[in-house]
Amino acid sequence: MHALFAASTLRVEQPPGVPSARSKYTILDGAGVLLARAAEERVPVRRQAFRALFGDAGGAPRTVQVTGVDGAPLFVIAKPKGAAGAVVLDPAGAVIGDLRRGRRTFVYSLHDGAGRVVGELAGNRLGRRFAVTDHAGVEVAQIDKKWAGLGKEVLTTADRYTVDLRRPMHGPLHVLVIAAALAIDLMHYEEKDFTP
């Protein structure tokens, strides 16, 4: 088992900078040890230039590859164009599961690769704190979007999340919970890109 799946606390951090042409993240354990990296791969130069100059409004697709520190692929998160959700794939491209938005903005049902509900991701009204429950309604994790300060929140894409895994999990739910912080950022906050 990769160390990413053994940690009980994870920190997902996006490096500070001007609005990004490609989504990039680091994933650390609670002690700050680097466990994985996540980044968009093969983004055409034209799309990068457009994003850097004009932002990324309109729900453009994004696909982020999560790799171990050694570069070995762990999973992929794909947010289709205009979608109110995301799909999580294994390195071979098989569907592990997906996040599907319900009627409320920050509430998602979590599904395994066969489409069965395995949990729910429910955010507060501001989209900064998310409770994750399993199929029985038992809280298994919490995801918090950390406040980076007014300047960073408005002028950069530097976002930070803490994932607190509160109960042992197995299978698709475990991967979906780890992927959820990245998916939240892709679905709600990457489109804040703009040129001031």
Angstrom distance (rounded) from CA 103 to CA 112 = 20
Domain boundaries, the chain: 3-95+145-192
Q: Could you report the average pLDDT of every consecutive run of 10 residues in the chain (196 residues)?
A: 92 73 87 95 63 57 92 94 87 96 88 97 87 96 80 62 93 96 82 44
- Identify the pLDDT of residue 133: 97
pLDDT tens readout for residues 39-93:
987 765 666 555 555 555 556 778 999 999 999 999 999 988 777 889 999 999 9
DSSP string, 117-138: EEEEEEE-TTSSEEEEEETTS-
Q: In this structure, what token pair is assigned to residue 120?
A: 């729910």
C-beta atoms surrounding 81 within 10 Å = 9
Indicate the pTM of the whole model: 0.84
Torsion angles phi and psi, residue 63, rounded to 5: -130, 120
| N-terminal to C-terminal alpha carbon distance within the chain | 44
